[in-house]
Amino acid sequence: MSKTKKSLIEEEAVQEGAINAGQIEEWKDTYKHIFKTVVGEHTFVWRKLRRREYVEIMTEKSDDPATKVFDRQDSICSTCILFPENIDELIEENGGLAGTLADEVLLRSGFDISETEEM
């Protein structure tokens, strides 16, 4: 990502009044890369999913096997979404939000095959 585009994303988050520049830098120091995704009227700041976290989420036991995929999406969001803090409430209010955000997190966390070809 270009420096200009990166700066614009940070400026937008700061302008929204919920995140300050110091918080962004703190997250970067801790997680290296942070991302911003806008879904509808909500802005989300998140980080990549780590391998250990992925393994823990994928091996969690679920009370109801039929809802296991949804539980995993919720866990990915709870683990990686840095802002807003009320992510669980927003997931409950917006039926497809966890799936959308979990997909974004997984793609940026290395679960995207950009190009594969037979040799």
What is the pLDDT, as a whole number, of residue 66? 77
**Above 70 in pLDDT, residue 2?**
no
Residue 21 CB contacts under 8 Å (≥ 6 apart), including other chains: 10, 14
What is the pLDDT confidence band of residue 106, given thresholds at 50, 70 and 90?
very high
Dump pLDDT digits (tens) for 62-95. Answer: 778 778 889 999 999 999 999 998 899 999 999 8
Q: Does the structure show a pLDDT above 80 at 8?
A: no
Domain with residues 3-108, CATH architecture: 2-Layer Sandwich (3.30)
Residue 62 vs residue 7, higher pLDDT: 62
pLDDT tens string 20-64: 888 899 999 999 999 999 998 889 999 999 999 999 999 887 778
pTM: 0.77
Q: Where do the domains of the chain lie? A: 3-108
Peptide bond before 84: cis, by omega within 30 degrees of 0?
A: yes
